[in-house]
Amino acid sequence: MPETAAKPRSGKKEFVGVVKSDKMQKTIVVQVETTALHPLYKKYVTKTKKLKAHDETNDAKIGDKVRVVECRPLSKEKCWRLQAILERAR
């Protein structure tokens, strides 16, 4: 039986969004937009959600485009962490 070199899968969710708030210490609020097809009307609808993410170095600022990844619960509402800042706000 030949061995296949499969890539290890992390299974963690990732989202790209925009930082809406950085007023808390080591926490940012990221707004994520997704599009979903409405089951009845067959029209794409934009859905938004706000996630609280851990930012250890307080590096992200309002307006930055960031990538957040799922992690263990860090507090009551915070179970995401900042992975990378993709684009700085102008």
The one-digit pLDDT tens for each residue of the chain (90 residues) are: 555 555 566 789 999 999 999 999 999 999 999 999 999 999 999 999 999 999 999 999 999 999 999 999 999 999 999 999 999 998
In this prediction, residue 1 carries a pLDDT of: 52
User: Is residue 7 situated within a structural domain?
Assistant: no
Task: Tell me, yes or no, whether 3 lies in a domain.
Answer: no
Q: Which residue has the tokens 């485009």?
A: 65
What pLDDT, on a 0 to 100 scale, did the predictor assign at position 46?
Answer: 97
The enclosing domain of 69 has a CATH number of: 2.40.50.140
- Number of domains into which the chain is organized: 1
**b/e string for 38-73 if b means 16 or more Cβ within 10 A?**
eeeeeeeeeeeeebbbbbeeeebeeebbbebeeeee
| Domain residue limits at 22 | 14-87
